[in-house]
Copies of this chain bind each other. A is one copy, B any other.
Amino acid sequence: METRELAYFAAVAEELHFGRAAERLGIAQPPLSRAIQKLERRLGVLLFDRSGRRVVLTPAGEVLAREAAKALDAVAAAEHRTRRAGLTEPRLVVALKPGGDGALLPDILAAYQECPDALPVEVVLCGVAERARLLRDGTADVAFLHSPWEDLTGFDTEPLLVEGGVAVVPTRHPLAARPFVHLADLDADPIPRWPDPRASESRTSDPRAFEPRTSERQASGPHVASGLRAGDAAQLMQLVALGRMIAVVPESVKEQVRRDLACVPVVDAAPTTVVLAWPEQTRSPALAAFVRTAADVAAGDVARRPAVEPGIR
Protein backbone atom coordinates (compact mmCIF):
# COMPACT_ATOMS: atom_id res chain seq x y z
CA MET A 1 0.00 0.00 0.00
CA GLU A 2 1.51 3.26 -1.05
CA THR A 3 1.26 6.41 1.02
CA ARG A 4 -0.47 8.14 -1.84
CA GLU A 5 -3.23 5.56 -1.77
CA LEU A 6 -3.62 5.98 1.98
CA ALA A 7 -3.78 9.74 1.61
CA TYR A 8 -6.40 9.39 -1.12
CA PHE A 9 -8.44 7.07 1.00
CA ALA A 10 -8.14 9.32 4.04
CA ALA A 11 -9.37 12.28 2.02
CA VAL A 12 -12.43 10.42 0.79
CA ALA A 13 -13.05 9.00 4.25
CA GLU A 14 -13.11 12.49 5.68
CA GLU A 15 -15.08 14.20 2.96
CA LEU A 16 -17.36 11.26 2.19
CA HIS A 17 -17.55 12.77 -1.27
CA PHE A 18 -15.28 11.81 -4.15
CA GLY A 19 -15.54 15.14 -5.92
CA ARG A 20 -14.62 17.27 -2.92
CA ALA A 21 -11.89 14.85 -1.87
CA ALA A 22 -10.37 15.00 -5.34
CA GLU A 23 -10.46 18.78 -5.26
CA ARG A 24 -8.72 18.79 -1.88
CA LEU A 25 -6.07 16.43 -3.23
CA GLY A 26 -5.56 18.55 -6.32
CA ILE A 27 -6.46 15.80 -8.76
CA ALA A 28 -9.50 15.05 -10.88
CA GLN A 29 -12.29 12.83 -9.64
CA PRO A 30 -11.94 9.86 -12.00
CA PRO A 31 -8.38 8.91 -11.00
CA LEU A 32 -9.44 9.13 -7.40
CA SER A 33 -12.34 6.76 -7.97
CA ARG A 34 -10.02 4.36 -9.73
CA ALA A 35 -7.41 4.54 -7.01
CA ILE A 36 -9.99 3.65 -4.36
CA GLN A 37 -11.32 0.81 -6.49
CA LYS A 38 -7.84 -0.52 -6.97
CA LEU A 39 -7.24 -0.35 -3.24
CA GLU A 40 -10.47 -2.19 -2.60
CA ARG A 41 -9.57 -4.88 -5.10
CA ARG A 42 -6.13 -5.38 -3.63
CA LEU A 43 -7.44 -5.56 -0.08
CA GLY A 44 -10.36 -7.71 -1.17
CA VAL A 45 -12.63 -5.52 0.92
CA LEU A 46 -15.25 -2.89 0.18
CA LEU A 47 -14.24 0.36 1.88
CA PHE A 48 -17.18 2.56 0.94
CA ASP A 49 -20.81 1.90 0.35
CA ARG A 50 -21.73 4.03 -2.64
CA SER A 51 -25.07 2.37 -3.28
CA GLY A 52 -27.15 5.15 -1.84
CA ARG A 53 -26.92 8.83 -2.52
CA ARG A 54 -24.39 9.34 0.22
CA VAL A 55 -20.97 7.74 0.32
CA VAL A 56 -20.56 5.95 3.62
CA LEU A 57 -17.74 3.97 5.21
CA THR A 58 -18.11 0.22 5.58
CA PRO A 59 -16.89 -1.36 8.85
CA ALA A 60 -13.64 -2.27 7.13
CA GLY A 61 -13.45 1.31 5.90
CA GLU A 62 -13.79 2.57 9.46
CA VAL A 63 -10.88 0.39 10.45
CA LEU A 64 -8.75 1.65 7.61
CA ALA A 65 -9.68 5.25 8.39
CA ARG A 66 -8.21 4.90 11.86
CA GLU A 67 -5.18 2.93 10.71
CA ALA A 68 -4.48 5.16 7.76
CA ALA A 69 -4.37 8.22 9.99
CA LYS A 70 -1.81 6.52 12.20
CA ALA A 71 0.25 5.27 9.28
CA LEU A 72 0.28 8.64 7.54
CA ASP A 73 1.37 10.30 10.76
CA ALA A 74 4.18 7.78 11.09
CA VAL A 75 5.34 8.43 7.54
CA ALA A 76 5.17 12.18 8.02
CA ALA A 77 7.10 11.77 11.27
CA ALA A 78 9.80 9.80 9.48
CA GLU A 79 10.16 12.61 6.98
CA HIS A 80 10.12 15.47 9.45
CA ARG A 81 12.48 13.88 11.93
CA THR A 82 14.95 12.90 9.25
CA ARG A 83 14.92 16.39 7.82
CA ARG A 84 15.51 17.86 11.23
CA ALA A 85 18.27 15.36 11.95
CA GLY A 86 20.08 16.60 8.88
CA LEU A 87 20.14 20.20 9.97
CA THR A 88 23.54 21.51 10.92
CA GLU A 89 22.04 23.50 13.78
CA PRO A 90 19.73 21.16 15.68
CA ARG A 91 16.77 22.66 17.49
CA LEU A 92 14.23 21.58 20.04
CA VAL A 93 10.69 22.30 18.89
CA VAL A 94 8.07 22.85 21.57
CA ALA A 95 4.38 22.94 20.63
CA LEU A 96 1.70 24.50 22.75
CA LYS A 97 -1.55 26.31 22.40
CA PRO A 98 -1.74 29.85 23.72
CA GLY A 99 -2.04 29.61 27.49
CA GLY A 100 -1.51 25.88 27.36
CA ASP A 101 1.72 25.99 29.31
CA GLY A 102 0.18 26.94 32.64
CA ALA A 103 2.39 30.06 32.61
CA LEU A 104 5.41 27.84 33.18
CA LEU A 105 7.12 28.18 29.83
CA PRO A 106 9.10 31.39 30.41
CA ASP A 107 10.63 29.98 33.58
CA ILE A 108 11.28 26.65 31.91
CA LEU A 109 13.02 28.27 28.96
CA ALA A 110 15.16 30.40 31.23
CA ALA A 111 16.20 27.43 33.33
CA TYR A 112 16.72 25.24 30.29
CA GLN A 113 19.23 27.58 28.68
CA GLU A 114 21.47 27.01 31.70
CA CYS A 115 21.68 23.28 30.99
CA PRO A 116 24.90 21.95 29.51
CA ASP A 117 23.28 20.19 26.55
CA ALA A 118 20.58 22.76 25.84
CA LEU A 119 19.63 23.39 22.23
CA PRO A 120 18.03 26.51 20.79
CA VAL A 121 14.31 26.17 21.42
CA GLU A 122 11.73 26.91 18.82
CA VAL A 123 8.23 27.52 20.17
CA VAL A 124 5.35 26.62 17.88
CA LEU A 125 1.98 28.01 18.82
CA CYS A 126 -0.97 26.17 17.45
CA GLY A 127 -4.60 25.36 17.98
CA VAL A 128 -5.92 22.69 20.25
CA ALA A 129 -6.46 20.16 17.49
CA GLU A 130 -3.01 20.49 15.94
CA ARG A 131 -0.94 20.04 19.07
CA ALA A 132 -1.02 16.27 19.34
CA ARG A 133 -0.71 16.01 15.59
CA LEU A 134 2.45 18.12 15.47
CA LEU A 135 3.97 15.70 17.94
CA ARG A 136 2.73 12.61 16.13
CA ASP A 137 3.93 13.74 12.72
CA GLY A 138 7.36 14.74 13.90
CA THR A 139 7.07 18.49 13.48
CA ALA A 140 7.52 19.05 17.21
CA ASP A 141 9.75 17.27 19.70
CA VAL A 142 7.69 17.95 22.78
CA ALA A 143 4.34 19.54 23.55
CA PHE A 144 2.28 20.81 26.43
CA LEU A 145 -0.92 18.77 26.46
CA HIS A 146 -3.91 18.68 28.75
CA SER A 147 -4.83 15.40 30.35
CA PRO A 148 -7.45 13.95 30.30
CA TRP A 149 -8.69 16.13 27.44
CA GLU A 150 -6.20 14.90 24.95
CA ASP A 151 -5.29 11.44 23.80
CA LEU A 152 -1.86 10.60 25.16
CA THR A 153 -1.44 7.16 23.63
CA GLY A 154 1.89 6.78 21.94
CA PHE A 155 3.48 9.46 24.07
CA ASP A 156 5.60 9.42 27.17
CA THR A 157 4.60 12.14 29.59
CA GLU A 158 5.71 14.10 32.59
CA PRO A 159 2.92 15.72 34.62
CA LEU A 160 3.75 19.31 35.44
CA LEU A 161 0.84 20.66 37.40
CA VAL A 162 -2.76 19.94 38.27
CA GLU A 163 -5.28 22.67 37.82
CA GLY A 164 -8.84 23.17 38.93
CA GLY A 165 -11.43 24.62 36.65
CA VAL A 166 -12.97 28.07 36.43
CA ALA A 167 -16.28 28.93 34.82
CA VAL A 168 -16.15 31.81 32.40
CA VAL A 169 -19.37 33.83 32.51
CA PRO A 170 -20.45 37.30 31.45
CA THR A 171 -19.67 39.89 34.14
CA ARG A 172 -23.34 40.59 34.74
CA HIS A 173 -24.29 36.95 35.02
CA PRO A 174 -25.75 36.06 38.47
CA LEU A 175 -22.97 33.50 39.08
CA ALA A 176 -20.24 36.05 38.37
CA ALA A 177 -20.42 37.48 41.88
CA ARG A 178 -20.15 34.13 43.64
CA PRO A 179 -16.78 33.27 45.25
CA PHE A 180 -17.08 29.78 43.80
CA VAL A 181 -19.67 27.50 42.23
CA HIS A 182 -20.38 23.82 41.83
CA LEU A 183 -21.04 22.04 38.58
CA ALA A 184 -24.62 21.65 39.73
CA ASP A 185 -24.98 25.45 39.72
CA LEU A 186 -23.95 25.47 36.07
CA ASP A 187 -26.27 22.63 35.22
CA ALA A 188 -29.11 24.54 36.83
CA ASP A 189 -28.45 27.44 34.49
CA PRO A 190 -30.27 27.28 31.16
CA ILE A 191 -27.18 28.40 29.26
CA PRO A 192 -25.39 25.39 27.75
CA ARG A 193 -22.01 24.51 29.08
CA TRP A 194 -18.74 23.90 27.30
CA PRO A 195 -17.34 21.33 27.22
CA ASP A 196 -20.55 19.45 26.83
CA PRO A 197 -20.88 17.18 29.87
CA ARG A 198 -22.82 14.63 27.84
CA ALA A 199 -19.92 14.23 25.43
CA SER A 200 -17.37 13.45 28.12
CA GLU A 201 -17.20 9.69 27.83
CA SER A 202 -13.93 8.37 29.09
CA ARG A 203 -11.45 7.47 26.40
CA THR A 204 -9.21 4.67 27.42
CA SER A 205 -7.24 2.32 25.29
CA ASP A 206 -8.10 -0.63 27.49
CA PRO A 207 -10.22 -2.87 25.31
CA ARG A 208 -12.20 -3.87 28.33
CA ALA A 209 -13.67 -0.39 28.17
CA PHE A 210 -15.21 -1.20 24.86
CA GLU A 211 -17.49 1.32 23.32
CA PRO A 212 -19.26 1.07 20.00
CA ARG A 213 -17.65 2.85 17.12
CA THR A 214 -18.31 6.52 16.70
CA SER A 215 -16.92 8.88 14.15
CA GLU A 216 -14.14 10.28 16.23
CA ARG A 217 -11.96 12.03 13.71
CA GLN A 218 -14.14 15.14 13.72
CA ALA A 219 -14.55 15.30 17.47
CA SER A 220 -11.43 17.35 18.13
CA GLY A 221 -12.65 20.93 17.79
CA PRO A 222 -14.77 22.57 20.45
CA HIS A 223 -18.38 21.99 19.66
CA VAL A 224 -21.63 21.91 21.53
CA ALA A 225 -24.69 19.78 21.43
CA SER A 226 -27.08 22.65 20.80
CA GLY A 227 -25.70 23.04 17.31
CA LEU A 228 -23.61 26.05 18.23
CA ARG A 229 -20.02 25.58 17.19
CA ALA A 230 -16.93 27.49 18.15
CA GLY A 231 -13.93 27.04 15.91
CA ASP A 232 -11.42 28.41 18.38
CA ALA A 233 -11.14 29.90 21.82
CA ALA A 234 -11.89 33.44 20.66
CA GLN A 235 -15.15 32.32 19.12
CA LEU A 236 -16.00 30.40 22.26
CA MET A 237 -15.36 33.48 24.37
CA GLN A 238 -17.53 35.50 22.04
CA LEU A 239 -20.35 33.03 22.64
CA VAL A 240 -19.83 33.41 26.37
CA ALA A 241 -19.93 37.18 26.05
CA LEU A 242 -23.20 36.85 24.14
CA GLY A 243 -24.64 34.81 26.97
CA ARG A 244 -25.03 31.76 24.75
CA MET A 245 -22.54 29.55 26.54
CA ILE A 246 -20.67 29.05 29.79
CA ALA A 247 -17.14 27.72 29.44
CA VAL A 248 -15.27 25.71 32.04
CA VAL A 249 -11.55 26.04 31.51
CA PRO A 250 -8.35 25.35 33.44
CA GLU A 251 -7.61 28.10 35.90
CA SER A 252 -4.29 29.05 34.37
CA VAL A 253 -5.99 30.51 31.32
CA LYS A 254 -7.86 32.90 33.62
CA GLU A 255 -5.29 35.61 32.96
CA GLN A 256 -6.04 35.55 29.29
CA VAL A 257 -9.80 35.86 29.22
CA ARG A 258 -11.36 39.05 28.00
CA ARG A 259 -11.91 41.88 30.46
CA ASP A 260 -15.66 41.73 29.95
CA LEU A 261 -15.89 38.18 31.26
CA ALA A 262 -15.68 36.88 34.81
CA CYS A 263 -14.03 33.72 36.09
CA VAL A 264 -15.49 31.78 38.99
CA PRO A 265 -13.71 28.75 40.42
CA VAL A 266 -15.65 25.54 39.99
CA VAL A 267 -14.76 23.53 43.04
CA ASP A 268 -15.85 20.15 41.70
CA ALA A 269 -14.71 20.48 38.11
CA ALA A 270 -12.60 17.58 36.88
CA PRO A 271 -8.99 18.64 37.43
CA THR A 272 -6.83 19.17 34.39
CA THR A 273 -3.23 18.01 34.38
CA VAL A 274 -0.80 19.96 32.25
CA VAL A 275 1.62 17.36 30.96
CA LEU A 276 4.73 17.54 28.90
CA ALA A 277 4.50 14.86 26.20
CA TRP A 278 7.02 13.47 23.75
CA PRO A 279 7.07 10.49 21.42
CA GLU A 280 7.79 7.14 22.98
CA GLN A 281 11.28 5.77 22.63
CA THR A 282 12.82 9.16 22.13
CA ARG A 283 16.47 9.25 23.04
CA SER A 284 17.79 12.75 22.98
CA PRO A 285 19.87 14.39 25.69
CA ALA A 286 18.46 17.78 24.74
CA LEU A 287 14.90 16.59 25.23
CA ALA A 288 15.86 14.80 28.42
CA ALA A 289 17.29 18.01 29.85
CA PHE A 290 14.20 19.94 28.82
CA VAL A 291 11.87 17.50 30.51
CA ARG A 292 13.96 17.45 33.64
CA THR A 293 14.14 21.21 33.97
CA ALA A 294 10.45 21.54 33.21
CA ALA A 295 9.64 19.10 36.00
CA ASP A 296 11.96 20.98 38.36
CA VAL A 297 10.47 24.34 37.47
CA ALA A 298 6.95 23.02 37.91
CA ALA A 299 7.79 21.53 41.29
CA GLY A 300 9.38 24.75 42.45
CA ASP A 301 6.49 26.76 41.14
CA VAL A 302 3.92 24.70 43.00
CA ALA A 303 5.95 25.10 46.17
CA ARG A 304 6.02 28.86 45.80
CA ARG A 305 2.37 29.49 45.00
CA PRO A 306 -0.53 27.43 46.31
CA ALA A 307 -2.18 25.59 43.46
CA VAL A 308 -5.77 26.45 44.37
CA GLU A 309 -7.37 29.36 46.12
CA PRO A 310 -6.74 28.72 49.79
CA GLY A 311 -9.78 27.91 51.86
CA ILE A 312 -11.90 26.51 49.09
CA ARG A 313 -10.96 22.89 49.38
Q: A-side interface residues toward B, CB under 8 Å?
A: 1-4, 6, 43-47, 58-60, 62-64, 66-68, 70-71, 73-75, 77-79, 81-83, 85-86, 138, 151, 153-154, 156, 205-211, 213, 278, 280-285, 287-288, 291-292
Contact = CB atoms under 8 A, between A and B. Distances in A.
A64 to B, nearest CB: 4
Contacts of A205: 156, 280-282
A68 to B, nearest CB: 5
A151 B70 CA distance: 20
B86 A44 contact: yes
B154 A207 contact: no
Contacts of A47: 82
A141 B60 CA distance: 16
A43 B78 CA distance: 10
A284 B71 CA distance: 20
Contacts of A156: 205-207
Contacts of A75: 1, 3, 6, 71, 74-75
A46 B1 contact: no
Contacts of A283: 207, 209-211, 213
Contacts of A67: 74, 77-78, 81-82, 138
A43 B47 CA distance: 33
Given A85-B59, A86-B43, A210 B288 contact: yes
B78 A60 contact: no
A214 to B, nearest CB: 10
B154 A280 contact: yes
A6 B81 CA distance: 14
Contacts of A281: 66, 151, 153, 205
A213 B285 CA distance: 11
B71 A78 contact: yes
A78 B281 CA distance: 22
Contacts of A77: 67, 70-71
